[in-house]
């Protein structure tokens, strides 16, 4: 058996053994075990890398907050701290707190660890050497950006990283994008010296903070400052790969890259960050400075700066062999093959689940196929099944007629890894039946003696029929429009429009009606709500796929796993805990019909009649 097979078998057995022993994965429900592989422990005791697992505001238990000075807990102890301990951090950034450095006292170890936990895979991808090399590369590039060193500086110029927070020349406003306003100056701030209004806007959206109006938060909040750098590191920049993918060996150069001399290694990261000024011009002192930091940090962390370890070499050889055999994976470049496992086909013909692969605005080749539907969600919800389930959605009596299309659904589903692709075939069918049932109730146009019955009239509306309420429920978000229900889930409230908009990089606070005019966005809003834990509620996805275990409070409130809890999540305050309710029965009616079409049992606990609503 080859090494990769041995490794895969070992990991599978380890996971199976862990699950058999533990019930829940981590935290107080799982014997205070930490999560592995850079995952976070959710409030319910399960490991994962979604916001529901990782964000402190969602009551994440571990791997998501600052630890102690000696390496902290969780991810710091398991993954980062063996390489970047507090003492290694101080050794690498030896003079950051020197009085001659304007940033002295700002960049702390705990702030770095806290920020690192928010980005799954950062410093935790690949073998030990790959992890060390990524951390060395990250600190090297950011140290150059913030260096205060000089040729004859104590301990050399490469011991003086992280000397500055703000760019020294602050005369440029960096207002480069008309897509974002420019009320402030967007000069470099933080470890990566984040600049340009669009970067402040995009990063702010990703964390739900208004950095367009408050860019200096990156120079006053150490954790946000580190997060801005790690976000930039982990995120593809325009047509460039992410620095993370380059240094971990997950990037394969295109023909255009190869002809341009862009090959895997630390140098490409310099090109990503500042190639327009530093690359393709022969030797450059700035490039040499970055390399100097990198070599020093590699030495401290005990890894070579250039050579790939054997595992990564084998992995790259495998990738290259596949490319030689098949060219690209999918789409027009790959013989129109579909991707598997819920992945999307990028504009370049490669499968994956990043925004670069899945977002329509990145030219994803992810529209649905014909009658067969292909793989993933489309193998269960074929276009024929879609038409049968939502049989009268295009009836002239439905205001939404012609709006909800199969291709828009398939395209939206591809953007959410795990949706309709988690668990066994029955679990996948049950999730899709439940999703369409809940959304069909929200958009129903049926009546008791409607043709084919009331449960064949889902998806009849796009906008809520009563549009009087503005749903300006949260002071955290402005309220220039009305946030009544739109789309399959009838997304309401300004905070939901704000949060969903932030997750996809769109301004839905000012343009909420995009959910009623763009079918793909409309479906995405529903799937986002479905996949995302709602405050103290689990996600509907976790409930229907069996990944949610009720707490003692849930049990005492009668909230047990099943379709009924999803109704409670969506509209429990109005429909649950009041005995039999026609709205609850309508949801169940849709669910039973869709389960029958998809050939799966609906399971138990379908209503929420005796469940108290989530507080």
Show which residues are catalytic.
442
Strands 351-352 and 47-48: unpaired
Which residues, in sequence order, are CB contacts of 344 under 8 Å at separation 6+?
A: 351, 352, 353, 357, 358, 364, 365, 366, 414, 415
Angle formed at CA 321 by CA 320 and CA 326, multiple of 5 degrees: 95
User: Which value, to the nearest 10 degrees, does the dihedral of the CA atoms of residues 544, 550, 556, 560 take?
Assistant: 20
Beta bridge partners of 534: 537
Residue 172 in tokens: 């440029």
Q: Which helix (H) or strand (E) holds 9?
A: helix 3-22
Q: Distances from the Cα of 136 to the Cαs of 80, 84, 142, 147, 244, in angstroms?
A: 12, 9, 10, 15, 12
Residue 216 in tokens: 């200096």
Strands (E), 45-162: 47-48
113: closest CA among 144, 158, 163, 77? 77
Which residues, in sequence order, are CB contacts of 16 under 8 Å at separation 6+?
A: none
- DSSP states along 413-424: HTTSTTTTTSSS
CA-CA-CA-CA torsion sign (192, 195, 198, 203): positive
153: left (phi over 0), alpha (psi -120 to 50) or beta: beta
How far is residue 379's CA from residue 421's CA, in Å, rounded to a whole number?
10
CA-CA-CA-CA torsion sign (199, 202, 205, 206): negative
- DSSP states along 40-63: EE-TTS-EE-SHHHH-GGGT--BS
Q: What is the C-alpha end-to-end distance of the chain, expressed in Å?
A: 53
How far is residue 170's CA from residue 167's CA, in Å, rounded to a whole number?
6
CB neighbours of residue 507 within 10 Å: 16
CA-CA-CA-CA torsion sign (39, 44, 50, 54): negative
CA-CA-CA-CA torsion sign (322, 328, 334, 338): positive
């Amino acid at each position: 058996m080859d090494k990769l097979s041995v490794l895969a078998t070992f990991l599978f057995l380890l996971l199976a053994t862990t699950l058999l022993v533990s019930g829940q994965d981590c935290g107080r429900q799982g014997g205070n075990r930490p999560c592995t592989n850079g995952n976070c422990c959710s409030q319910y005791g399960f490991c994962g890398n979604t916001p529901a697992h990782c964000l402190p505001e969602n009551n994440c238990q571990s791997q998501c907050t600052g630890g102690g000075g000696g390496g902290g807990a969780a991810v710091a102890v398991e993954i980062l701290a063996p390489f970047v301990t507090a003492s290694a951090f101080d050794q690498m950034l030896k003079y950051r707190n020197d009085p001659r450095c304007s940033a002295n006292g700002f960049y702390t170890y705990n702030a770095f660890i806290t920020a690192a936990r928010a980005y799954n895979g950062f410093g935790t991808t690949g073998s030990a050497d790959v992890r060390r090399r990524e951390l060395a590369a990250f600190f090297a590039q950011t140290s150059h950006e913030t260096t205060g060193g000089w040729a004859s500086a104590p301990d050399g110029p490469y011991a003086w990283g992280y000397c500055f927070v703000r760019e020294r020349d602050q005369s440029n406003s960096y207002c480069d994008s008309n897509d974002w306003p420019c009320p402030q100056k967007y000069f470099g701030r933080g470890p990566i010296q984040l600049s340009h209004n669009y970067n402040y806007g995009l990063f702010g959206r990703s964390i739900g903070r208004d950095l367009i109006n408050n860019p200096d938060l990156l120079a006053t909040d150490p954790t946000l400052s580190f997060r801005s750098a790690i976000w930039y590191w982990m995120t593809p920049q325009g047509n460039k790969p992410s620095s993370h993918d380059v240094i971990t060996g997950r990037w394969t150069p295109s023909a255009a890259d190869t002809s341009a001399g862009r090959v895997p290694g630390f140098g490409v990261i310099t090109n990503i960050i500042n190639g327009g000024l530093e690359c393709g011009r022969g030797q450059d002192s700035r490039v040499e400075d970055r390399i100097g930091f990198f070599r020093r940090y590699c030495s401290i962390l005990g890894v070579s700066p250039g050579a790939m370890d054997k595992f990564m070499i084998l992995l790259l050889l495998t990738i290259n062999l596949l490319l030689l055999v098949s060219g690209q994976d999918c789409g027009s470049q790959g013989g129109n093959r579909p991707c598997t496992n819920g992945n999307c086909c990028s504009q370049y013909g490669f499968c994956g689940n990043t925004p670069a692969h899945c977002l329509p605005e990145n030219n994803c080749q992810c529209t649905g196929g014909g009658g067969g539907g292909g793989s993933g969600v489309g193998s269960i919800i074929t276009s024929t099944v879609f038409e049968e389930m939502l049989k009268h959605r295009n009836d002239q009596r439905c205001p939404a007629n012609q709006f909800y299309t199969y291709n828009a659904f398939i395209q939206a589903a591809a953007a959410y890894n795990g949706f309709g692709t988690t668990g066994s075939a029955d679990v996948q069918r049950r999730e899709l039946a439940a999703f369409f049932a809940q959304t069909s109730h929200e958009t129903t146009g049926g009546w008791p003696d409607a043709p084919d019955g009331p449960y064949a009239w889902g998806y009849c509306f796009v906008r809520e029929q009563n549009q009087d309420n503005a749903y300006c429920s949260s002071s955290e978000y402005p309220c220039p429009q009305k946030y009544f229900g739109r789309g399959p889930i009838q997304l309401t409230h300004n905070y939901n429009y704000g949060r969903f908009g932030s997750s996809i990089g769109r301004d839905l606070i000012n343009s909420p009606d995009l959910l009623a005019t763009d079918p793909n966005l409309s479906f995405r809003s529903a799937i986002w709500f479905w996949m995302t834990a709602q405050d103290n509620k689990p996600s509907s996805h976790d409930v229907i796929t069996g990944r949610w275990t009720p707490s003692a409070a849930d049990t005492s409130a009668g909230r047990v796993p099943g379709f009924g809890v999803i109704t409670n999540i969506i509209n429990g305050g109005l429909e649950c805990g009041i005995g039999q309710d026609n709205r609850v029965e309508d949801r169940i009616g849709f669910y039973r019909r869709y389960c029958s079409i998809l050939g799966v049992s609906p399971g138990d606990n379908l209503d929420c009649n005796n469940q108290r609503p989530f507080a």
